[in-house]
Structure 1
Amino acid sequence: MKTWTIYLSGEIHTDWREQIEAGAKAANLPVAFAAPVTHHEASDDCGVAILGAEPNKFWHDHKGAQMNAIRTRTLIEGADIVVVRFGEKYKQWNAAFDAGYAAALNKPTIIMHQDEHAHALKEVDAAALAVTKTSEEVVEILRYVINGELKGYTDQQQAAE
């Protein structure tokens, strides 16, 4: 049986990744998860911590962004499905970039956000194969896509249809 690789991109201030991972485990789905570095300071400072300090904040951020891109691009390219969550508190420009990169690679994407971001994310949503609000919905999408199982339907009901 194939193990599906799911890349979890987006906001880092809530436990949505852990919720999806726990739900997938409870559903016994054959999945492996990957994600960007979610320790905010480490992600911001990786470039200067490894390659040396930069007096200009632009170059400080640039070095970190380039290092993070090595990880992000590699993991998105290797993913079977990319899930991108847009949180309520911050504007996640990097998440929008990841969604666009995944779309350019023709990766199936699932986008997560609340209604208040629907207008701002309309182009991102239009490129996605599913738009959700909750981690539970993501798990149910994965259950259906991977196992062909729809919650609430028995095997007999599914076979009869």
Structure 2
Amino acid sequence: MSLTVYLSGEIHTDWRQQIIQGAEQHGLQLTFTSAVTDHASSDAAGDVLGAESQGFWRDHKSAKVNAIRTKTLLEKCDLAIIRFGEQYKQWNAAFDAGYCAALGKPYITLHGAEIVHPLKEVDGAAMAWAQSPEQVVELLKYVASGQ
């Protein structure tokens, strides 16, 4: 089975690469998509629309431009992996999880046990909660191949 998997969430670790490499090692026919993971590029996404004197408006424009990509890719994916890291609050990931839930898109959360409580509603709507990229790969292997 060929699936498109959207990878959402924190951008400061290599969890995306671990999942992609694990899927390749198992020969899974998966296409991976993601938001822009280069922080500077993401922050500058709206700069083409003109300079802003206040940071709020720069962030506002860039968030909307980034949302074009995110919304489009989430709507086209078959399932999403939503990663919450320990170092930063990923409000964008929580929004993506809520959007998936509203669309009826299945998603898997990926985070450590120490943040189970603040993510109880997000995890409550998820189809699974994984604690490592390796667990995600095993879930994707089962979903894609039934093995």
TM class by shorter-chain length?
over 0.9
Question: 1:124 offset after TM fit, Å?
Answer: 0.1
Give CA-to-partner distance per residue, 1:113-137, whole Å, 9 cap, x none.
1011100000000000000100000
Which residue pairs with 1:16 in the alignment? 15
State the partner residue of 2:107: 109
Distance 2:60 2:107 in 1: 27
Higher relative contact order (CA 8 A, sep 6+): 2
- In the alignment, does 2:29 pair up with 1:30? yes
User: Taking structure 2 as the reference length, what is the TM-score of the superposition?
Assistant: 0.98
Unpaired runs of 5+ residues, structure 1, are 150-161
Residues 90-122 of structure 1, C-alpha deviation per residue, up to 9 Å, x if partnerless? 000001001100111000100001011100000
Q: Determine which of 54, 57, 78 is the counterpart of 1:56.
A: 54
Question: CA shift at 1:27, angstroms?
Answer: 0.5
Q: How many residues align?
A: 147
Q: CA deviation at 1:46?
A: 1.3
Which residue in 1 is equivalent to 2:70? 72
- Bigger Rg, which one: 1
Secondary structure (helix, strand or coil) at the match of 2:80 reads strand
Quick one: distance in 2 between partners of 1:121 and 1:53?
A: 36
**Cα distance in 1 for residues equivalent to 2:44 and 2:114:** 32
Q: Is the 8 A contact 2:4 2:32 kept in 1?
A: yes
Offset at 1:56?
1.4
Aligned-pair RMSD on alpha carbons?
A: 0.6
Partner of 2:81: 83
Partner AA of 2:88 in structure 1: Y
Counterpart residue number, 2:129: 131
How far the C-alpha of 1:58 sits from its partner, in A, is 1.3
Which aligned segments of 4 or more residues in structure 1 are displaced greater than 2 angstroms? Answer: none
Secondary structure of the corresponding residue to residue 6 of structure 2: strand
Identity between Structure 1 and Structure 2 (%)? 57
CA shift, 1:146, in A, is: 1.0
Superposition TM-score, scaled by structure 1 size: 0.90
Q: Output the CA distance in 2 between the equivalents of 1:74 and 1:88.
A: 27
User: In the alignment, is the contact (CA less than 8 A) between 2:6 and 2:80 conserved in 1?
Assistant: yes
Amino acid at match of 1:138: V
